[in-house]
Structure 1
Amino acid sequence: MSKTSKSQLSYEDMHADLSALIACDTCFPPAASYGAFCDLIETRAADLGGRAERVAVPPHLWQADGVTGARVNLVLRPDIGPADAPEALIYFHADTAPVGDGWTRPPLMLTREGTRLFGRGTADMKGCIAAVLAALRHLKQTETALAFRPVLAICTDEEGGLYPGIRYLAETRTLPDVLLNLNGGAQPRIWGGCLGSMDIAVTVQGLAAHSGRPDQGINALEEMLPVLAALQGLRQDIETRTTAMPPPPGAPDLCARLSITAIRAGDKGSALPGQCRVVINRRYLPEENPDAVRAEIDQTLRAAITKTRLRGWRSDQIGHLPPVTDPSGPWTDRWTQARAVAADLPVDEFTLYGSGTSSDFGWVQKAGIQHMLLGGLMRPDAAVHGPDEHTTVDDMETLAHAVALFLSADFPTSSDQRKQTPPNMETS
């Protein structure tokens, strides 16, 4: 039995790391401080030894309006585990959702109230980085025998953007067979996949004019209103479409979604806006074709805009995450059992289901790797992407314990899952 216990992985050992990570602003957009975040991670993880590699995504792949700064991914190989052991890649994304409005605590400062930990990124997903660093320090200090050599991948642009960092890694090098994605929840769940997500920016052109002489202009915002109504009509049709992917327990079948998520036009009351920009998010099913998804939106836009006075329009895809389908594989049982022990839950409480959220690991599957694991700190009431995002001390300690158990060589499982030796991660 592994010597690692939850009591040995105290949150107090994670506090300094989490506080520093929250204070480094990596909100997307623009997520312009990836380099500084890499500096911070390397400093915080220096006691683990090993080597660090920075992998930049070429600018022509990710450049878009509102996105600035180099897209730098950090791959850390701590100096723990036998040299001949297979690698296990543990994934995190460095960016967070925008701070947004409505916070009652400082969003870029860690605030502890009882067992709850507040700050942007506590649950999604800087808290996961702090938990794993604590787990690895414990394994190194106790000289625990490991079944895997951990590799940490801290990646760019999961929250948006054209080219997530994990996609670039998956397409340019051979990843390990063991892929642990910690951008998930703390609930007892076995990952059954997730929907795809497509972000489309629609920009329409009117004619700016003084608001006292509206006859001399074309109000781009007002002319956009019937177009928004047409999108609302399309949404009603889209949301009748469901997937065969199993839904969360007690929830209805997962369905496709269309949301209008951002709108910008004008600067002041005395001028008609000459331009209006709207962002549409489309959650699409594994059964849907992404080209058809985009074409349907463009057809709806075209039909509605031709009935307005607008002088021109364009639509641009500014983000895309393909669906994840059937990610279960040879390491699923080991990870589920590690999580069950760490959470002090029976294994049969872990249920396989999908979700309406999306993951950049859809690109990993497109690169040819089907099997992947999911865990993390998110919960339905954690205000992820909202004001007062938070996680808990217990969830962080539980995650650290689960990771330590999964990596440990003497962790007993119901079946021998080490018969397959995955390749190490190599540059292609």
Structure 2
Amino acid sequence: MTVTTPLQDALAAIAEDQAQILEDMQAMLRTDTCFPPGNGYGAFADLMEQLIAPLGLECKRVSVPEALWRTSDGSVYGERINLMAEANLPGKDVCSLYFHTDTVPPGDGWTHEPLELTIAEGKLFGRGAADMKGTVVAALAALRAAKAANLPLRFSPSLLLCTDEEGGLYPGIRYLAEQGLVQGHILSFNGGATPRIWGGCFGSIDLVIRITGRSAHSGDPVGAINAIEHSLPLMNALYALKTEVEQRESAMPSPPHFEGKPLTSRLTLAAAHGGSKGSTVPGAFELLINRRYAPEEAFEDVMAELLSCIESAMKDSPVLEVSHEMIGHLAPVSDPVGPNQPRWQAAQSLGFGYAPEDFRVWGSSTSSDMGWVQQAGIEEMLLGGLARPDNRIHASDEYTTMEDVVALAQSILAYLAEGFDPAAA
């Protein structure tokens, strides 16, 4: 590969930009975008417009209509504001850089303040540091270096800062794609700091099942219908279905840590809520299940199987009502590789120091909102990011490192820049 001297200088400038990188990281982590409820998107859009303004990109906000994302339990609220920031370079193909701006809630077990940047042990701690506000920080550092060096770009970047990836019913990128607002090919940062060629991912369904019985005093339960006890046949049936589902293998290449074992479909009994105290027979019970389905499975078949299981298990139950609601759905991604993959590999090699032979194609039984983008007609989706197996994404003390943020920023800059030729000797 060849790298022009101006690009070399810009790449070096990223490594010298650490004070601004830390300032941006702190500002983003402090802006609470936890999902649920996801009511901080407006504040995050305000911040991003402020940080993007010096780069000369044109920003616009696109909100997802409430009817598409609202669920009946009221746990999700606040305007779903997606921010698009476009360079609009004439005569250049668009590269859409995708980020989700929501994070999971902090949860328990933190030894650092979760919504602050803490620098310790050579690590940058905070909720979203790796997944995935740190990737936004890296992209801004790349574009800042390009502007300062007046570098010509091969692609016209379009930043897509989107809502509700972390389990939402209608992710923001789905709405943008279905409205025809996503251009060019996608460079998604919902991946890792690894030499990976993305082979796709599974779909994901979150389904809430609600059982209505009749409460009463547990010491005198006349007329009572115990919603928890009468849900045992349902839980047993779902657990039996789980055993069957997890025998289904996908042809998608499995990750290296699977050590040759295939990816399989999955069914998880993820949460259960019911009852209040010992003196009361519980009149309501709620069960959340998660179903990961392979690209080889049709959504309609997966849902029909789940609903048939529920109906069969509860058909003779004395409960008053059994209802269900899908509160989250991500479509699967199949074979997203396209003609720009070699350039992105070379750019990652430059940034992270990978050798060409390090790269492998593999998929995942985790899920991504990129499935909706593929269904909207955009086929090529490249993958990068800051995730590593040990940086505690979705757990307490999530972290990334300055080295990885700089490496990702350098990879992004090389990919976008005209002065990078991976094919040259």
Conserved 8 A contact 2:269-2:287: yes
Conserved 8 A contact 1:188-1:351: yes
SS of 2:158 mapped into structure 1: strand
Conserved 8 A contact 1:181-1:372: yes
Aligned counterparts of 1:344 and 1:398: Cα–Cα separation in 2: 9
The aligned counterpart of 1:95 is 102
Structure 1 residues 415 and 89, CA, compared in 2 at 3 Å: closer, same or farther?
farther
Q: How many residues align?
A: 414
Conserved 8 A contact 2:11-2:145: no
Conserved 8 A contact 2:344-2:415: yes
SS of 1:96 mapped into structure 2: coil
Aligned counterparts of 1:392 and 1:6: Cα–Cα separation in 2: 18
Aligned counterparts of 2:278 and 2:397: Cα–Cα separation in 1: 32
The aligned counterpart of 1:122 is 129
The aligned counterpart of 1:329 is 338
Q: Do structure 1's residue 165 and structure 2's residue 172 form an aligned pair?
A: yes
Structure 1 residues 305 and 147, CA, compared in 2 at 3 Å: closer, same or farther?
same
Q: Offset at 1:82?
A: 4.3
Deviation >4 Å, runs of 4+: none
SS of 1:47 mapped into structure 2: helix
Q: Do structure 1's residue 273 and structure 2's residue 282 form an aligned pair?
A: yes
The one-letter code matched in structure 2 to 1:295 is A
The aligned counterpart of 2:25 is 18
Q: Do structure 1's residue 68 and structure 2's residue 77 form an aligned pair?
A: yes
Q: Do structure 1's residue 29 and structure 2's residue 36 form an aligned pair?
A: yes
The one-letter code matched in structure 2 to 1:248 is P
The one-letter code matched in structure 1 to 2:335 is D
Conserved 8 A contact 1:105-1:119: yes
Q: Offset at 1:219?
A: 2.1
The one-letter code matched in structure 1 to 2:110 is W
Aligned counterparts of 2:28 and 2:188: Cα–Cα separation in 1: 19
Q: Offset at 1:362?
A: 0.3
Structure 1 residue runs of 5 or longer lacking an equivalent are: 417-428
Aligned counterparts of 1:343 and 1:7: Cα–Cα separation in 2: 16
Q: Do structure 1's residue 134 and structure 2's residue 141 form an aligned pair?
A: yes
Tell me the alpha carbon deviations over residues 90-126 of structure 1, each in whole angstroms, 9 at most, x when there is no partner: 0001111122222222211111112212211111111
Q: Do structure 1's residue 340 and structure 2's residue 362 form an aligned pair?
A: no
Conserved 8 A contact 1:30-1:67: yes
Q: 1:202 aligns with which of 204, 209, 216?
A: 209
Moved more, 389-398 or 283-292: 389-398
Aligned counterparts of 1:136 and 1:216: Cα–Cα separation in 2: 67
Aligned counterparts of 1:50 and 1:303: Cα–Cα separation in 2: 56
The one-letter code matched in structure 2 to 1:328 is V
Structure 1 residues 359 and 293, CA, compared in 2 at 3 Å: closer, same or farther?
same
The aligned counterpart of 1:54 is 61
Root-mean-square deviation (Å)? 1.7
The one-letter code matched in structure 2 to 1:413 is P
The aligned counterpart of 1:288 is 297
Q: Offset at 1:8?
A: 3.0
Aligned counterparts of 1:72 and 1:82: Cα–Cα separation in 2: 25
Q: 2:373 aligns with which of 352, 364, 368?
A: 364
Tell me the alpha carbon deviations over residues 43-93 of structure 1, each in whole angstroms, 9 at most, x when there is no partner: 222221232100011111111132111111100125xx8433222110001
Q: TM-score, normalising length from structure 2? A: 0.93
Tell me the alpha carbon deviations over residues 5-61 of structure 1, each in whole angstroms, 9 at most, x when there is no partner: 356334433111111111111111110121111111112222212321000111111
SS of 2:305 mapped into structure 1: helix
Q: Offset at 1:280?
A: 0.8
The one-letter code matched in structure 1 to 2:80 is R
The one-letter code matched in structure 1 to 2:188 is N
The aligned counterpart of 1:5 is 11
Q: Offset at 1:174?
A: 4.6
SS of 1:153 mapped into structure 2: strand
The one-letter code matched in structure 2 to 1:371 is E
Tell me the alpha carbon deviations over residues 172-224 of structure 1, each in whole angstroms, 9 at most, x when there is no partner: 12522221100111111010101111111111101122233334422212322
Q: 2:272 aligns with which of 239, 263, 268?
A: 263
Tell me the alpha carbon deviations over residues 358-377 of structure 1, each in whole angstroms, 9 at most, x when there is no partner: 11010011111111111001
- Work out the percentage of aligned pairs sharing the same amino acid: 45
Conserved 8 A contact 1:85-1:149: yes
Q: Offset at 1:241?
A: 0.3
Q: Offset at 1:279?
A: 1.1
Aligned counterparts of 2:406 and 2:368: Cα–Cα separation in 1: 24
Q: 2:326 aligns with which of 317, 323, 329?
A: 317
Structure 2 residue runs of 5 or longer lacking an equivalent are: none
SS of 1:14 mapped into structure 2: helix
The aligned counterpart of 1:414 is 423
Moved more, 3-12 or 131-140: 3-12
SS of 1:406 mapped into structure 2: helix
Q: TM-score, normalising length from structure 1? A: 0.93
The aligned counterpart of 2:403 is 394
Conserved 8 A contact 2:196-2:359: yes
SS of 1:101 mapped into structure 2: coil
Aligned counterparts of 1:103 and 1:304: Cα–Cα separation in 2: 40
The aligned counterpart of 1:247 is 254
Conserved 8 A contact 1:6-1:397: no
Q: 1:233 aligns with which of 233, 237, 240?
A: 240
Tell me the alpha carbon deviations over residues 224-243 of structure 1, each in whole angstroms, 9 at most, x when there is no partner: 23321211111000000011
SS of 2:389 mapped into structure 1: coil
Aligned counterparts of 2:333 and 2:126: Cα–Cα separation in 1: 29
The aligned counterpart of 1:423 is none
Q: Offset at 1:251?
A: 4.1
The one-letter code matched in structure 1 to 2:367 is S
Moved more, 263-272 or 147-156: 263-272
Q: Do structure 1's residue 187 and structure 2's residue 194 form an aligned pair?
A: yes
